[in-house]
Structure 1
Amino acid sequence: MFCPTCFQKVNVELQRELVLDFEQLPGVLQEIASLIGPENAMKIAQTYGGVRLYVPKRMKPDHPLAELVGFENACALSTALGGLAHLYIPQSHVLILEARKRAILNDRSQGMSIRELALKYRLAERHIHTIQKAALKADLAAARLAQETLTTTNLSKEDRHDR
């Protein structure tokens, strides 16, 4: 995905070998990322995830936000979001779990064994099986929904044709 401010390909490194596309960030983090970059948005999510964040209208160099993302970035946030209502920052662990799940499924599709995945991601083999099974169920549900939609559409066309 491309960052809207710098128009460069952006992946946010979450944990060892896990990346998150800019597009996968929740709304408020996408807005923050567009102002100060995805890496800094994730720093904010990791620090303030699950709580409300107030961005002051006038940023000071010793403000915790300035210390976290740098004074220049904090000023950019202050200019765009300063003085508004408190922003609810989503918890970063949900983003990390989703990115890990996608990485596991990708590695599995590339031929890695359950054992190798368990060792790589420091999970139980049973948990890898659970992730794989849930993904398979989701794929089957999506396929059924697509089939039902196609069938309904075809029936509607036949009804119109008969009239």
Structure 2
Amino acid sequence: MKLEDLESIMDKARFVAFLRHFGGLRIYIPKMIKADHPIAVVVGLDTATLLSDLYQGESLDLPTLDRHDRRLKRRKILDLSKQNKSFNQIALECGCSRRYAVQVCADGREEIEAERVEPKFRQLELF
């Protein structure tokens, strides 16, 4: 199960509530879901029915909410780096250590370079 799959079926508030309640667990998605089912109580019957339509009869291993939060923090770090913010500025804005910001940027170096905001200059060759 990918986080993106869950995010595509429900709005952010329901997604966070769903992972806060069931994150880290293996849950069974019934073929027919009723209003008093724990999933429907947490996310509402409409969203629970949609979830049931997509995953009926399956057991899902759900990621924790921490994993989602780490992914969002990583994305924010990379976005700030693309804006040429210093590692200290990034650490302050993201609430992380400078060292973690350096590690994330090192892992995403290719992505940062591809989307950097600054203009790119070329060296002219003079003969």
TM class, shorter-length: 0.5 to 0.7
Match of 1:154 in 2: none
**Aligned-partner residue type, residue 90 of structure 1:** P
Q: Mapping of 1:1-163 within 5 angstroms?
A: 26=2, 30=5, 32-34=6-8, 36-39=9-12, 40-82=14-56, 84-136=57-109, 139=110
Tell me the matched-pair count.
109
C-alpha distance in structure 2 between counterparts of 1:58 and 1:90, whole Å? 23
Structure 1 residues 78 and 133: CA distance shift in structure 2, 3 A: closer
Residue 90 of structure 1: CA displacement? 2.5
Structure 1 residue ranges, 4+ long, deviating more than 4 angstroms after superposition: none
User: Superposition RMSD on alpha carbons, in Å?
Assistant: 2.6
1:131 alignment partner, SS class: helix
Specify which structure has the bigger relative contact order, considering alpha-carbon pairs within 8 angstroms and separated by 6 or more residues.
2
**Cα displacement (A) at 1:110:** 0.6
Q: Which runs of 5+ in 2 are unaligned?
A: 111-127
After TM superposition, give the deviation of residue 76 of structure 1 in Å: 2.9
Question: What TM-score, normalized by structure 1, do the two folds share?
Answer: 0.54
| Aligned-partner Cα distance in 1 for 2:39–2:65 | 17
How does the TM-score come out when normalised to structure 2? 0.66
Question: Does structure 1 conserve the Cα–Cα contact (< 8 Å) formed by 2:30 and 2:58?
Answer: no
